[in-house]
C-alpha cells in the first residue's frame, strides 16, 4: 500500500459561493393537473451546506 503524505498541517483556501441545499423527503401521491409534476406530501426537510461550503467542511 502506498503511503499518502500527511495533509493535517496543510493550509487550504476555499474560494467560492456558499449556499444552502435543502432536501425535501416525502411520498409522491399523484401528478398535478396544472403541470406534469408529482405532488409530494412532505414528511421531512434536511438542510446541508452547498457549493464551496460543501468543499470547506
pLDDT tens digits for range 2-55: 777 777 788 888 899 999 999 999 999 999 999 999 999 999 999 999 999 888
H or E segment to which residue 54 belongs = helix 52-56
Task: Judge contact between 39 and 31, C-beta under 8 A.
Answer: yes
Residue position matching grid coordinates 409534476: 37
* Boundaries of every domain in the chain: 19-56
pLDDT score recorded for residue 10: 82
Q: Three-state DSSP class for 33?
A: coil
pLDDT score recorded for residue 33: 95
Amino acid at each position: 500500500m502506498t503511503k499518502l503524505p500527511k495533509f493535517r498541517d496543510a493550509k487550504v483556501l476555499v474560494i467560492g459561493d456558499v449556499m444552502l441545499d435543502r432536501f425535501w423527503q416525502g411520498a409522491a401521491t399523484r401528478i398535478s393537473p396544472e403541470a406534469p409534476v408529482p405532488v409530494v406530501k412532505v414528511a421531512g426537510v434536511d438542510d446541508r451546506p452547498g457549493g464551496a461550503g460543501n468543499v470547506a467542511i
